[in-house]
Structure 1
Amino acid sequence: MDANQQAELQALAGRSLTSAEITLAGNRDDAGLAASLSFGLTQVVSKRIGAGSVLDALGAVSGAAFLDAMDSLSSTVSAIKWGLSLLNSGNFDVGSATSIGIVNTLVSGGTLGAVTIPANTISQATATALLNLAVVPLTISVDQVSNILNGA
């Protein structure tokens, strides 16, 4: 493996290679290297949810508190009103940048439209549990590793 190949693999994994991964590359264990590079990697994907998913993910008390927060703000905050509409129809995408922004604003506070949302409307733990519904493992394929090591 040359320096350019190592740099490409590091860019793919988003980190430096370990000595064990350098050995795997030198031995051309492309499958083992792909598995090692993939370990712990995640990505956010589109994930449409409804109220039932919220209750399942957060539990009855925290789930209801999130839904109540959305409901109470929906009469004054247009973005929340439409988010709640999507949630009620099972189409609230917790992987979309807009939905992530809404959920994070409920934690950090801020302005949505002309309305200021108070900080800690929901807890960080609640937001994390909800947004994690859209987080899945990211797998680096053997072909990706092979193409880099083959100079393709």
Structure 2
Amino acid sequence: MPSSRFSSSFSSPDLSVYIDMGNPFLNRTVDGFLKIGTVAAARVAAEETYHCVSKGSISKNNLEHSLKKMCKEGAYWGTIAGLYVGMEYGMQRIRGTRDWKNAMLGGAVTGAVVSAASNNGRDKFMVDAITGAAIATAAEFLNYLT
């Protein structure tokens, strides 16, 4: 019985912007901020475009609102990503090894800092730290699979 196989590979485009801050910690933190902040701003742009198209009208007020929302979301998610990348790199430097535990610790610290900055209660603080650790660890394990 004849059989056939389909084989292909998919690779995403590599778009890197390198800003040398003179320190590897700062380089990675700024890189994380720029990449994830751009993704967040692009998501808001797509969402706002959809809303304008579905309403059938675009006004100067809608455009200003969209730009403010893009900047706010980009800065928020970029800051969280920069903090996480910096914490993970810091854990790697402190521990002297590169493994999933760095992601877990970096995620926990990031979740805790974001929660503390949001003035959440003590229970929410712990939940956010655990959530950050879980998400970062899961992402690290998924990276090992690919």
Question: Shorter-chain-normalised TM-score: which range?
Answer: under 0.3
Higher RCO by CA contacts (8 Å cutoff, separation 6 or greater): 1
TM-score, structure 2 normalization: 0.28
TM-score, structure 1 normalization: 0.27
| The structure with more strand, counted as a fraction of residues | 1
| The structure with more helix, counted as a fraction of residues | 2
